[in-house]
Amino acid sequence: MNWAIQTLNGISMGALLFLLSSGFTLTFGLARVVNMAHGALYLLGGYLGLSMVLATKNFWLALLAGGFGIVILYYFLDRFLIRRTGENHLSQVLLTVGIAFVIADIALLIWGGDARRLPAPAFTQGPIQLAAGLYYPRYRFLLILFGVIVGVFLWIIYKKTQIGALVRAGVDDREMVSAMGININRLFALVFALAAFLAGLSGVAGGAFLTLYPGAEWEILVLALVVVIVGGLGSLGGAMVGSLVVGLIDAYGRWLLPEFSYFVIFGPMAVLLLFRPTGLFGRKN
């Protein structure tokens, strides 16, 4: 029974990681932007949701507040700061780390240094019986469903719609897409907004079971980084597979080797990189 519980823990963590890393990987794939502030956006989204849920007692409004709050913030960050670094990854990393420091420090000032749990709505509380004798927290089970729904939704947009086709074309050859008369900047703005929305949303979703605290932004970011390293930068399918793999390894690692759980995640990543330096689905750029 333990294995089943831990597997579900892994999958639900994977669902959360997918919400976060899909935005990260698409932003990179299309615009070549490495956004190290992604974890800080997650944390801030969670805090915004927390304030909203405390003010209105409505979890859905909290999800929207977290998501759209981050979209607005990211628009200005991109417009006035990140865009100015061009394609210099070194500058981007330093700049976005600086942004993450500022966001985290302001969040500390407003929401304090204690771990805060975002209250989940009543219908998600309590256990759910999945099989005879197998009880699982209802919230985490619904999170898995939510992750799958978002995943399918993104996959359909990515593979079946014209916008998705443009994004895929942009990942492959950005200049060519603009030469075809497509406004690539509008496409960028769309993907950035989606990534920021998902980051804020995952902060609200994660805040309800992982809690929100200073430092959470880097802990979740490093897991998201491993996801995109394993899956391959810029690949949506890679983010799906990577999230599941990292979520499961994280859950089993915490359970079987609690003192070395980080190491357990790193081991497979290192082996993988030895054979495929660009991850499972990544391509050389």
Partner 1 sequence: MATRNLILLLAGVVFALFAPQLLGAFWASLIMQILIFGVLALSVDLLLGHTGMFSLCHAAFFAVAAYTTAILQVRYGQPTILAAPAGILVGCLLSLIYGLAVRTSGVYFILVTIAMGYILWGVAVRWGSFTGGDNGIGNVPFPAIGPLKVTSLTAYYYILWILVGLGVLGYRLLIQSPFGLTLRGIRDSESRMRALGYNVGRHKYAAFVLSGCIASFAGVLYIYFNRFISPATAAFPISVEAALMVIIGGVGTILGPFIGSAVFLIMRNYVSAYMDQWMTITGLVFIATVLWAPNGFLGLLKKYRTRPQDPKHRAEAGKTG
Which of 28, 47, 111, 136: binder of partner 1 (CB under 8 A)? 28
Give pairs for 50-59: CB < 8 Å, separation 24+.
Answer: 50/111, 50/116, 50/118, 50/204, 50/207, 50/212, 51/111, 53/118, 53/119, 54/119, 59/119, 59/120, 59/121, 59/124
Residues 5 and 259: their CA atoms lie apart, in Å, by: 20
By CB under 8 A, residue 258 contacts partner 1: yes
Q: For residue 129, what are the β-bridge partners?
A: 135
By CB under 8 A, residue 101 contacts partner 1: yes
Which of 5, 61, 93, 189: binder of partner 1 (CB under 8 A)? 93
Among positions 167-196, residues that touch partner 1 (CB under 8 A) are none
Q: How far is the CB of 108 from partner 1 (least distance, A)?
A: 8
Q: Which is nearer to partner 1, 59 or 111 (CB)?
A: 111
Torsion angle (degrees, nearest 10) of CA 22, 25, 26, 31:
160
By CB under 8 A, residue 97 contacts partner 1: yes
Which of 167, 228, 240, 249: binder of partner 1 (CB under 8 A)? 228
By CB under 8 A, residue 76 contacts partner 1: no
Q: Which is nearer to partner 1, 33 or 236 (CB)?
A: 33
Q: For residue 137, what are the β-bridge partners?
A: 127
CA atoms within 13 A on the CB side of 205: 28
* 182 φ, ψ (degrees, to nearest 5): -90, 135
Contact 35, 82 (CB under 8 A): yes
By CB under 8 A, residue 94 contacts partner 1: yes
Give the CA distances from residue 168 to residues 200, 241, 281, in Å, rounded to whole numbers and listed in that order: 24, 18, 14
By CB under 8 A, residue 91 contacts partner 1: yes
By CB under 8 A, residue 218 contacts partner 1: yes
Number of chain residues interacting with partner 1 (CB under 8 A) = 46
Residues within the interface to partner 1 (CB under 8 A) = 28, 34, 81, 84-85, 89-91, 93-95, 97-102, 104-106, 108-109, 218, 222, 225-226, 228-229, 233, 258-263, 265-266, 269-270, 273-274, 277-279, 282, 285
